[in-house]
A and B are shown apart, each in its own frame.
Chain A
Amino acid sequence: MTTAATRKLDPLPRGSEWSIESIDRYHTEIARVAAHYRLDTYPVQIEIITAEQMMDAYASVGMPVNYHHWSFGKHFLATEKGYRRGQMGLAYEIVINSNPCIAYLMEENTLTMQGLVIAHAAYGHNSFFKGNYLFRTWTNADAIIDYLIFARNYITECEERHGEEEVENLLDACHALMNLGVDRYKRPPKLSLAKEKLRQQERESYLQSQVNELWRTLPAHDIHARPESPGRFPPEPEENLLYFIEKNAPLLESWQREIVRIVRKIAQYFFPQRQTQVMNEGWATFWHYTLLNHLYDEGLLADSFMLEFLQSHTNVVYQPPYNAAWYNGINPYALGFAMWQDIRRICENPDDEDRHWFPEIAGSDWLETFDFAMRNFKDESFIAQYLSPKIMRNFRMFAVLDDDRENKLKVSAIHDDEGFRRVRDVLSDHYNLGAREPNIQVWSVDLRGDRSLTLRHQQHSRRPLGDSTGEVMKHLARLWGFTVRLETVGADGQVELHTEIRRDKRRVGDTG
Chain B
Amino acid sequence: MVRIIDRRFDSKNKSAVNRQRFMRRFKQQIRKAVSGAIEGRSIRDLENGEEVAIPARDLSEPSLHHGRGGTWEQVFSGNDQFSAGDLINRPLGGGAGGSGQGKASNEGEHEDDFVFQLSREEFLDLFFEDLELPRLVRTQLAKVTEYKTQRAGFTADGVPANINIIRSMRSALGRRLALGSPYAGKLRELQQQLDELLAHCNGDQACEDSEEARALREEIERLREKIEQIPFIERFDLRYNNRIRVPCPTTRAVMFCLMDVSGSMSEERKSTAKRFFMLLYLFLTRSYEHIEVVFIRHHTVAKEVDEDEFFHSRESGGTVVSSALLLMRDILRQRYANGQWNIYGAQASDGDNWDNDSPLCSQLLGRDILPSCQYFAYIEITAGEPQNLWREYARIADEQPHFAMQRIESPADIYPVFRELFKKTIL
A interface with B by C-beta (< 8 Å): 20, 23-24, 27-28, 31, 43-50, 52-53, 55-57, 59-60, 68-74, 76-78, 80-81, 84, 100, 107, 164, 168, 172, 175-180, 319-325, 327-330, 395-404, 407-416, 418-419, 423, 426-427, 429-430, 436-438, 440, 459-469, 471-472, 475
Contacts and interface: CB of A to CB of B under 8 A. Distances in A.
A472 B18 contact: no
Contacts of B65: 179, 437-438, 465-466, 468
A467 B109 contact: yes
Chain A contact surface mostly? mixed
A467 B75 contact: no
A413 B61 CA distance: 37
Nearest to A76: B15
Contact of A410 (B1, B70, B87): B87
Contacts of A177: 64
Nearest to A436: B66
Contacts of A461: 70-72
Contacts of A419: 84
A179 B22 contact: no
Contacts of A469: 62, 64
B83 A411 contact: yes
A407 B2 contact: no
B76 A48 contact: no
A98 to B, nearest CB: 13
B77 A319 contact: yes
A412 B73 contact: yes
A461 B99 CA distance: 14
B370 to A, nearest CB: 45
A411 B99 CA distance: 11
Given A59-B15, A400-B74, A426-B73, A438 B116 contact: no
Q: Which of B12, B18, B88, B96 has the most CB of A within 10 A?
A: B18
Nearest to B23: A73
Contacts of A28: 2
Contact of B13 (A56, A78, A436): A56
Interface in B97-118: 97-100, 102, 107-109, 114-117
Contact of A53 (B14, B68, B79, B108): B14
A84 B19 contact: no
Contacts of B75: 330, 397-400, 423, 426-427, 430
Nearest to B51: A81
Interface stretch (B3-11, B134-142, B195-203, B218-226): B3-11
Nearest to B118: A77
Contact of B84 (A413, A463, A471): A413
Given A68-B21, A430-B74, A47 B90 contact: no
B17 A68 contact: yes
Given A74-B22, A76-B15, A402 B2 contact: no
A68 B16 CA distance: 10
Contacts of B2: 24, 27-28, 31, 43-46
Interface residues of B, number: 67
Given A179-B64, A400-B97, A408-B89, 13 more contacts: A53-B10, A77-B116, A327-B76, A329-B102, A330-B75, A398-B76, A408-B90, A411-B84, A466-B109, A467-B109, A468-B65, A469-B62, A472-B64
B288 to A, nearest CB: 29
A464 B117 CA distance: 37
Given A56-B13, A407-B90, A463-B72, A400 B99 contact: yes
Given A45-B2, A319-B77, A408 B88 contact: yes
A323 B22 contact: no
Interface centre among B12, B62, B107, B108 (most CB of A within 10 A): B62
B59 interface: yes
A49 B66 CA distance: 38
Contact of A56 (B14, B73, B109, B116): B14
B356 interface: no
B427 to A, nearest CB: 34
B140 to A, nearest CB: 33
Interface in B1-57: 1-8, 10, 12-15, 17-26
B77 A395 contact: yes
Given A73-B20, A76-B15, A410-B87, A323 B96 contact: yes
Interface pairs A-B: 3 shortest CB-CB: A321-B78, A402-B99, A73-B22
A134 B3 CA distance: 27
B63 A472 contact: yes
Contacts of A437: 64-66
Contacts of B23: 73
Interface in B287-321: none
A460 B73 CA distance: 12
Contact of B114 (A78, A402, A415, A426): A78
Interface string B377-419: 0000000000000000000000000000000000000000000
Contact of B64 (A80, A395, A399, A438): A438
Contacts of A81: 115-117
